[in-house]
Amino acid sequence: DGGITQSPKYLFRKEGQNVTLSCEQNLNHDAMYWYRQDPGQGLRLIYYSQIVNDFQKGDIAEGYSVSREKKESFPLTVTSAQKNPTAFYLCASSSRGTGYGYTFGSGTRLTVV
């Protein structure tokens, strides 16, 4: 079945540590996205990529980094510069261009310990 796989489901980060969240899709979608979800604030866009080897900052990119070396993969690194990383992280993909819907993964819950 086609879809998006996020791993791990739960992740714990110590202060000052970098962690990487995985996102893999087998939908052959060109575009991929990372969103952060906090209670009462809806979803906010962190980074997005419309093609391999290219990506753009979203609304809250500070303290995060991404790469897009393969069409299927769009990992997100939460760096130590992100002061409040505890949140639910969602990855999504869509076919390139407008008029196509988005498919979301099942999310990774990151907690700072």
Partner 1 sequence: KQEVTQIPAALSVPEGENLVLNCSFTDSAIYNLQWFRQDPGKGLTSLLLIQSSQREQTSGRLNASLDKSSGRSTLYIAASQPGDSATYLCAVETSGSRLTFGEGTQLTVNP
Under rule CB under 8 A, residue 106 binds partner 1? yes
Query: How is 13-38 classified by DSSP, letter by letter?
Result: E-TT--EEEEEEE-S--SEEEEEEEE
Which residues inside 28-47 make contact with partner 1, applying CB under 8 A? Answer: 31, 33, 40-43, 45
Q: 31 or 61: whose CB is closer to partner 1?
A: 31
Residues in a beta bridge with 106 = none
The region of 12-20, 61-69, 71-79, 85-93 touching partner 1 under the rule CB under 8 A is: 85-93
Close Cβ partners of 46 (under 8 Å, ≥ 6 residues apart) = 34, 35, 36, 58, 59, 60, 61, 64, 66, 76, 89
Contact criterion met (CB below 8 Å) for 95 and 30: yes
Candidates 2, 53, 97, 113: give the one binding partner 1 (CB under 8 A): 97
What residues make contact with partner 1 under the rule CB under 8 A? 6, 31, 33, 40-43, 45, 48, 50, 56, 58, 88, 90, 92, 94, 96-99, 101-107, 109
